[in-house]
Structure 1
Amino acid sequence: MIEIEFSREDLARTRFALSPLWEAVASIRMLKGADEQGLHAAWVHRVRHQLAAASTDFGPLFDLVPVPARSPWAGSVPGFLCPPPTTPLPSLDVELATVRATPPALLRTTAEVPPARLAALRADPTAGLARLAELIEAYWELALAPYWPRVLALLEGDIRYRAGRLVEGGAQHLFADLDPQVTWAGGTLHLEHRTVRGARQLDGRGLLLVPSAFVWPRVFSVLNEPWQPSLRYPPRAVGTLWHARPAQVSEALAGVLGRSRATLLTELAAPASTTELARRTGLTPGGVSQHLTALRTAGLVSAHRAGRQVLYARTRAGQTVMEAAGAGPPAA
């Protein structure tokens, strides 16, 4: 059991962030066998074929992400491969710039990686880190970029939920349902761990909370210098990430709005992009855009920018219309 002790300054500095770089690295664990429950089986199946067809040798990258051979708790990841983000939503390019600039003294790890790979990095850090960043970028384009809007919507939805919990009841409410491995009591966060024990001080730096689609059933902690103290935890509804179940559209709602607009409003139980909504509903991207514009003009849908894309979500008025039509549970 790890005990993370919070001061008032630590509580004030606790924040949320997302990390495309971490999602890329964590997803490699799934491809190497960490997904024993098959949560990401559909994604793994598609991506393995895409990687096999690629001409790039991803060995230097994959070898740095250990296979969890003994239990879900085994297989730590080298800190220099995925340092915690310094801004709420950095781009992959920004995070890879941090990797390229890693000081040679930080090219060390207790993770079970081939010594030759680590030795090669340490022998020529500039060239080795540049090549590593190139491989991560190439892997991202094949394995995650096509699915990033869906993953991002899930992660951002969890952060909005957590922010609401913090507003409603403070830190105790925030951590109460973060994960079964995490409990809060008396200003201390207790994190279950099978191999590491003892108290950890945050020293006024606060705790960075990073929801991650590819960590379940684990919580990954970063508590050693020089990194920002962090917890990477599974977001809510991660089990539905790859489900392609069509939404059940209320006939009453379709009678008022039209079936296409009713379908889009129903699908927005969690924020989504135009591309993702088109994929789910079978409508053309142009048609989705036109219907979303109409829904937005009516005040039923809002839009906000997340990095390079725009995500749409139900407004309070949109949710009220859904509930009045008996169209299912509240949005996430």
Structure 2
Amino acid sequence: MLTWKFSAQDLAHTRFAQSPLCELVTSVEVFKNPGRHAVHLPWVRQARTALAGVSWELLSQLVPLPAVHVPDFLTPVPAGSSPTLDEQLAELTALEPAAVRRDLSRIDGELPPLVAELARDPAAGTARLAGELRAYWQAAIAPHRARIDRLVEGEILRRARQLAAGGPAGLFADLHPKVSWEGDLLRIGHRHVDADRRLDGARGLVLVPTVFAWPGVFSQLDPPWQPGLVYPPRGVATLWETSATGTSEGLARVLGRARARLLAELDAPATTTELAARTGLSAPTVSHHLHALCAAGLTARHRTGRSVLYLRTAAAELLCGDG
């Protein structure tokens, strides 16, 4: 069990961030152990084909099974809110050799051959690793980047609303089954960590929603990075689905089947285009129903970049049985 003690200043510095590198690295464990990550099986099947012929042996050795410890330089807590993969890879290749060796020294047992080479020559090793990460990303993650980003962005919007409505207790209430908030303490049920920590009042905690983290939750504890918590966003189970979502018959009789179906689909925030693809309705029809649901106070819309995400309001959550 890991326990973080928060002060008011720590809460003021707590924030969200997206991390392409964290998505990539957690996907490696999913790829190597798909049985433990069943919701991602559709992605695994596609990635097996996409990664054929791609060289990522060093990356594979750095993310073993079981992945009890992955070097911190592979999953750094982002300094900003949404760094690009190129920015994170630039930080990786700019690391001091001593920092690379320090992280690798925490690996138990004998280092695998390519990891041992990385320890002997960190400059050459991180350059090779950056190339492997970029190639893996282009083959296995980039084709799905839009849907992953929308799920993560929707999660951040939803959590921000919960924080505004219920404070830290509302923010952490259903973040993950292993995470709980009581008083000024955040408890995280890690199997391999048993520690009580104080945040230092100047950095807070960074929450990093990461789809391939499912079903786990991971913590970043060590300097120089800000403390971080990596967790799966709500709606991961529907990320790769194309089949129909169940619709409440009672709600369908009140709202109409199409509008009830759209509310059911908005278990995780989505765009008009995504909802049209899932439901088989035309985009103009979906837009018409969403405007009606917005007018009734059952959905809200938020612009993120070029996309507009729709999400259920608190009233709609109650109607759908999630209140």
Judge same fold: TM > 0.5, yes or no.
Answer: yes
| Distance in 2 between residues matched to 1:331 and 1:181, nearest whole Å | 19
Mapped pair 1:78 → 2:71: yes
In structure 2, relative to structure 1, the CA distance for the partners of 1:34 and 1:208 (3 Å cut) is farther
Task: Tell me which amino acid in the other structure corresponds to 2:163.
Answer: L
Q: Give the letter aligned to residue 12 of structure 1.
A: A
Partner of 1:18: 18
Contact preservation (8 Å) 1:5, 1:200: yes
Counterpart CA distance in 2 for 1:111 and 1:291 is 55
Q: Report the more deviating stretch, 136-145 or 33-42.
A: 33-42
Q: Does structure 1 retain, via aligned residues, the 8 Å contact 2:26–2:212?
A: yes
**Larger mean Cα displacement after TM superposition, 151-160 or 216-225:** 151-160
> What are the within-5 Å matches in structure 2 for residues 171-250 of structure 1?
171-204=168-201, 205-246=203-244
2: distance between equivalents of 1:274 and 1:139?
30
Matched residue, 1:127: 124
Aligned residue identity for 1:125? P
* Partner AA of 1:87 in structure 2: G
- TM-score, scaled relative to structure 1: 0.78
Instruction: Output the amino acid matched with 1:60.
Output: L
When the two chains are superposed, the root-mean-square deviation of aligned CA atoms in Å is: 3.4
1:202 positional shift = 1.6
Note the C-alpha offset of 1:185.
2.0
Q: Is the 8 A contact 2:154 2:270 kept in 1?
A: no
Return closer, same or farther for 1:169/1:65 CA change in 2, 3 Å cut-off: same
Please, which of 114, 131, 139 is the counterpart of residue 117 of structure 1?
114
Matched residue, 1:96: 89
Which residue number in structure 1 is paired with residue 30 of structure 2?
A: 30
Aligned partner of 2:73: which letter? F
* SS of alignment partner, residue 23 of structure 1: helix
Answering whether residue 163 of structure 2 is matched by residue 170 of structure 1, we say: no
Tell me whether 103-112 or 244-253 shows the greater mean CA deviation: 244-253
- Name the amino acid aligned to 2:16: F
In the superposition, the TM-score normalised over structure 2's length comes to 0.80
Aligned-pair CA distance for 1:118 = 2.7
Paired with 1:145 and 1:275, the residues of 2 have a C-alpha distance of 19
Q: Deviations over 1:198-245 (max 9, x none)?
A: 211221210001111112222100111112100111222222222212
Secondary structure of 1:210's partner? strand
C-alpha spacing 1:251/1:47, structure 2 compared with 1 (3 Å)? farther
**Unmatched 5+ residue regions in structure 1?**
69-73
1-structure distance, mates of 2:80, 2:194: 29
Q: How far is 1:26 from its partner?
A: 0.2
Check whether the contact 1:47–1:143 (CA below 8 A) recurs between aligned residues: yes
Partner residue, 1:146: 143
Instruction: State the SS of the aligned residue for 1:184.
Output: strand
Contact 1:179 1:233 in 2 (8 A): yes
Residue 33 of structure 1: how far off its partner (Å): 0.9
Could you tell me how far apart the structure 2 residues matched to 1:16 and 1:214 are? 17
Counterparts of 1:311 and 1:134, CA distance in 2:
34
Shift of 1:175: 1.6
Equivalent position amino acid for 1:141 in 2 = Q
Q: C-alpha displacement at 1:63, in angstroms?
A: 1.1
The amino acid across from 2:304 in the alignment is: R
Question: Which amino acid is the alignment partner of residue 152 of structure 2?
Answer: L
AA of the residue aligned to 2:214: W
The question of whether the paired residues in 1 share the 8 Å contact of 2:270 and 2:311 is answered with no
Distance 1:139 1:181, change over 3 A: same
What amino acid does structure 2 have at the position aligned with 1:174? L
TM-superposition CA deviations, 1:24-46 (whole Å, max 9, x none): 11010001116425121121122
Cα 1:210–1:19 shift into 2, 3 Å = same
Q: How many residue pairs were aligned? A: 308
**Secondary structure, counterpart of 2:59 in structure 1:** helix
Structure 1 residue 64, shift from structure 2 partner: 0.8
Structure 2: which 5+ runs fail to align? none
